Structure 1
Amino acid sequence: MSPSTTRIVAIVLAVVLVLGAAGVAIGYGLSARDGDDSADGPERAGPAPTSTPSADATEPPDPALAAYYGQSIDWAACEDDDDMECATLTVPVDYAEPDGETIDLRLLRDPADEPGQRVGSLVVNPGGPGSPGTSYAAAGTQAFRQPLLDAFDIVGFDPRGTGGSDPVDCLSDDELDAFLAADPDPDDAAEEQALVEDLDGFFAGCVERSDALVGHVTTVEAARDMDVLRAALGETTLTYLGASYGTKLGATYAELFPQRVGRLLLDGAVDVSLSTRESSLGQARGFETALRAYVEDCVSGDDCPLGGSVEEGLTTITDLLGDIDAQPLPTSDDRELTVGSAFYGVVTPLYVRDYWPLLTQGLEQALDGDGTTLMLLADAYASRDSFSGDYLNNSAEAIYAINCLDDPTALAPEDVPAQYADFEEASPTFGRVFAWGLVGCAGIEVEASEPAPQIDGAGAAPIVVVGTTRDPATPYEWAQALAEQLDSGVLVTRDGDGHTGYNSGNECVDTAVEDYLVEGTVPDDGLEC
């Protein structure tokens, strides 16, 4: 196995930290790990407790929930890592029926590295929706810098319906392979019909293969779970770091429990006011911007296989995807790289600038008729182990279940062509794929028990929102919008590539985040890094 292939395998196995989602299941997920846009920041002061323990820390918002809010967490060493502590937290399936069925959420805690400097518990969520928060909390320096690891018990939970928290199951592994490989931009009536049938089968499978929780995996209910977790951790207010979709979860928490907001850091923000169509258009623009930045970087070097200019490089990629659509490429295993898998293989490295060389390798191989690297990258997006064929978690299924329960809006297939012009203007390369993503919730068979609220977080303490100027999955404009929508929003801007801003090589951003979370020092609104 070559060194480059070994590196890709490591990504396939490690990228489970973060995923993402829109109609085409393009997510808000993979966190940035840049290392080339650093800036100096101010010196850091000492730690400050995140919350002052008080008698009302476990007081429930509804007396009927007292048993949940009064529970204690029985931490024990995790089976596969003695340095981490694992436990479960019991919450109701339906908060309107607290005496009804319950679910146990999987928890993981990485205790503070410096107990004498501990300031509290930091609850984290990596995004998706659908990514397991326990993997994120266990990521250590891959996800968090030492000041946070020293000062906090990093606490992750698998949101309801994901990871180890009664995971939603919709398809067998073989069926999921085929679902993800399907053409995301149908070429004719037969492919359009196949897409509709695939979605119908997917959502029917969710109901058949999952229990009653499948109708209770909304962001609102996950936010209510977080408040139960806060109480069980003994925290009067919540200290939280949410990345990507985790920003929507955090903003929802601020709307439902504004007086329980302590220090909320929302990184790679989602604009919670947008319709499904507006979100899809925004992501189409974001991925086009990121792809152009990648191609510009590639053609500025000596060995770019795409051509000598940005426009030539983009044309090469577009033509390659068209060729793969017509004739899938062989790979090192018994699968073929279809255009659906090739799409995910191209967009996955755009989440992280450090992965751009992998995209170059994948495109060069594909131009030579070998789809192996692009397939490995597509597998990484879906948290699929390319060698065993096993899915490491259910994120590729949960993303549809959660998004479509939050907003079941879907276009009929016959209405999609009318969207082409707007979407191709936003993204000449990916526009039609995102346009077809608007049918993604067709066929959903369950309804949310509680509607999503309008969000302004009125009454909450200052909430810090981080946006990256060339973020593909959550465009910078979304961070600007969320900071404006939140009454107490404070915007921090990272000028850079990749998805999310913290721990991405920018000292100015990192210092601002850590000063806020560790010391409670709110950065200046509009800070640019």
Structure 2
Amino acid sequence: MKQIKRNASLIAASALLFGLAVPLTASAADTEPLEWTKCGGTGLDPRQRCATLSVPMNYADPGGRKIDIVLSRLPSEKPSARRGALLMIPGGPGGDSLAGPSETGRHLPRSVRDAYDLIGFAPRGNSPSTPVSCDFDRSDLARTKLLPWPTAGGSVAENMAAARRMSDACARAGDELLQHVSTKNNARDIDRIRAALGERKLSAWGVSYGTYVGAAYREMFPRRTDRIVLDSNDHPDPVQGQRAWLAAFEVGVEDNFPEFAKWASRPGNPHRLARTAAEVRPLFLRLAARLDRTPIPWPGSNPEELNGNVLRQTMLDGFYDPADGYPAVAELMLAAKKGTVPPAPQAPPDPVLRNYAAVVAATVCNDAAWPRSAAVYRKDVATGRLKYPLTAGMPRNAMVCAAWPWQPKEPPVRVTDRGPSDVLLIQNERDVATPLSGALKLREALGRRAVMVTNDATGHGAYLDNGTACGDTLVSRFLATGERPRKDTDCR
């Protein structure tokens, strides 16, 4: 994030000494004027415009190499009611919100669209901002490799080999930017965005990983925030503490599976899997185990077979959005029972996946160091497989970070209860990726600075997505008027 103008040499020395723990604040004078032009893409609001902002690649060397951050803006629909700018902080890592002002913006109530210019952006490393990429093998771009599923017997040897292979591919890329993609630098970039927009304070709506970025921004620049909504909340320390970013899937799947089982056993459901909800879990586990032993060829997919881990990954992906995801999981289970496969899913082009995978790796690995010993992962995976058989040890396994070629340049953000009370958390009870248990940890860390609204709802994405009308109303009211619930609130 940004920097307060002082003696330049003192700033540089302090940044190096203290790892930029005390951020420096950007002013409009630090940025060039934004030139807004028509955005690329289809289906956008014709009023949406895009611009490119230049920021330091390395905030410890602000006079060094610059990188581009691409922004989008949809202006307030009622200038007389305009309060400021609302930045949409995307999830991921690896996501962007460039289309958000048009696509998500159309679902916002008029009171919010009147109050703000809606701002989207592609975070550092994400195309079309200055991109990073590693020349990963195509096989390593499979979903079951990007999330580290162990072998059917629980071995992590292949995962450790993949971590070394992928880390070597990033090292060979020779792009120094890979070392500077991190949550703290994302937060610093946001403050550059604020300054370039000419805003004294910035409101933000962060989703999923964007809640950690939003919390980081709020921690690093407390006097630069206005109204902050954190939606589908990450554990406040997602890469330390049992590697909680990945470990969240264990609890998230367990929170969600009973809802899937009720849906999949409902009479009249064309995708019905069993007569009772109690039968669905053992059916899934039997199918996964059978596919571990005898995969079904699946031409055109990556990998080109339906194995147990592909079924498990499909379940995990499907639980993000029950409306579309539950039928997809059930269809795959029904096909597997018959020994067949549906049409191969269409994956994004390999260059897009390489960009995405490089951003994920750089962010997670640069935020904090992971264990390097295979023995740590063997032990943790064995424990996870016994305690959480649905996820088969994956959430405790070795990602690329187990062999990442660089050490973190600064400590991760520590979320605290210091600063103004201007945060509203919105959370679904049953969220596969950011479970309620992790959200409660963030709520605890923020203390008096926050109020939390909890939806009796299933799926990832709470506001204007898989939440409740009650939760949507409370968030919209906060954004439009600043009025928050007096205390933590359940929406049922």
User: Which residue identity does 1:485 align to in structure 2?
Assistant: A
CA contact (8 A) 2:204 2:229 kept: yes
Could you tell me how far apart the structure 2 residues matched to 1:443 and 1:166 are? 25
Deviation track 1:32-66 (CA, whole Å, cap 9, x = no partner) reads xxxxxxxxxxxxxxxxxxxxxxxxxx983656466
421-430 vs 217-226, which moves further? 421-430
User: Which residue identity does 1:317 align to in structure 2?
Assistant: F
- After TM superposition, the score normalised by the length of structure 2 is 0.85
1:195 aligns with 2:156: no
Could you tell me how far apart the structure 2 residues matched to 1:507 and 1:250 are? 24
CA contact (8 A) 2:243 2:396 kept: no
> What is residue 357 of structure 1 aligned with on the other side?
327
CA contact (8 A) 1:163 1:394 kept: yes
Q: Secondary structure at the match of 1:60?
A: coil
Q: Which runs of 5+ in 1 are unaligned?
A: 1-57
CA contact (8 A) 2:182 2:363 kept: yes
Q: Secondary structure at the match of 1:512?
A: helix
Q: Tell me the CA shift for residue 527 of structure 1.
A: 1.4
CA contact (8 A) 1:410 1:439 kept: no
Q: RMSD of aligned C-alpha atoms?
A: 2.8
User: Which residue identity does 1:345 align to in structure 2?
Assistant: T
Could you tell me how far apart the structure 2 residues matched to 1:519 and 1:393 are? 42
CA contact (8 A) 2:85 2:116 kept: yes
Q: 1:108 aligns with which of 66, 72, 77?
A: 72
1:60 aligns with 2:4: yes
> What is residue 527 of structure 1 aligned with on the other side?
489
1:489 aligns with 2:450: yes
Deviation track 1:239-283 (CA, whole Å, cap 9, x = no partner) reads 000001101001111111111121010111112146341624443
User: Which residue identity does 1:359 align to in structure 2?
Assistant: V
Deviation track 1:60-82 (CA, whole Å, cap 9, x = no partner) reads 36564668734321111113354
Q: 2:402 aligns with which of 418, 422, 442?
A: 442
Q: Tell me the CA shift for residue 351 of structure 1.
A: 0.7
Could you tell me how far apart the structure 1 residues matched to 2:290 and 2:305 are? 13
> What is residue 395 of structure 1 aligned with on the other side?
356
> What is residue 348 of structure 1 aligned with on the other side?
317
Label 1:62 to 1:77 Cα distance change in 2 as closer, same or farther (>3 A).
Answer: farther
Q: 1:407 aligns with which of 349, 364, 368?
A: 368
> What is residue 251 of structure 2 aligned with on the other side?
285
CA contact (8 A) 1:218 1:448 kept: no
Could you tell me how far apart the structure 2 residues matched to 1:217 and 1:349 are? 29
1:306 aligns with 2:281: no
Q: Tell me the CA shift for residue 165 of structure 1.
A: 2.1
Could you tell me how far apart the structure 1 residues matched to 2:328 and 2:105 are? 22
> What is residue 218 of structure 1 aligned with on the other side?
182
1:432 aligns with 2:426: no
> What is residue 338 of structure 2 aligned with on the other side?
368
> What is residue 499 of structure 1 aligned with on the other side?
460
504-513 vs 121-130, which moves further? 504-513
441-450 vs 254-263, which moves further? 441-450
Q: Secondary structure at the match of 1:268?
A: strand
Q: 1:470 aligns with which of 430, 433, 439?
A: 430
User: Which residue identity does 1:522 align to in structure 2?
Assistant: R
Q: How does 1:252-331 map to 2 (within 5 A)?
A: 252-273=216-237, 275-277=240-242, 279=244, 280-303=246-269, 304-331=271-298
> What is residue 240 of structure 1 aligned with on the other side?
204
CA contact (8 A) 1:468 1:493 kept: yes
Q: Tell me the CA shift for residue 329 of structure 1.
A: 2.6
Q: Secondary structure at the match of 2:200?
A: coil
Deviation track 1:317-343 (CA, whole Å, cap 9, x = no partner) reads 122222323333334636333444333
Q: Secondary structure at the match of 1:108?
A: strand
Label 1:108 to 1:476 Cα distance change in 2 as closer, same or farther (>3 A).
Answer: same
CA contact (8 A) 1:110 1:153 kept: yes
Q: How many residues align?
A: 461
Q: Secondary structure at the match of 2:402?
A: coil
Label 1:416 to 1:127 Cα distance change in 2 as closer, same or farther (>3 A).
Answer: same
Q: How does 1:94-243 map to 2 (within 5 A)?
A: 94-140=58-104, 144-172=108-136, 174-177=138-141, 180=144, 184-187=149-152, 192-209=156-173, 211-243=175-207
Q: Secondary structure at the match of 1:229?
A: helix
CA contact (8 A) 2:265 2:274 kept: yes
Q: Tell me the CA shift for residue 406 of structure 1.
A: 0.7
Could you tell me how far apart the structure 2 residues matched to 1:147 and 1:329 are? 52
User: Which residue identity does 2:119 align to in structure 1?
Assistant: V
User: Which residue identity does 2:263 align to in structure 1?
Assistant: D
Identity of paired residues, percent? 27
Could you tell me how far apart the structure 1 residues matched to 2:350 and 2:382 are? 38
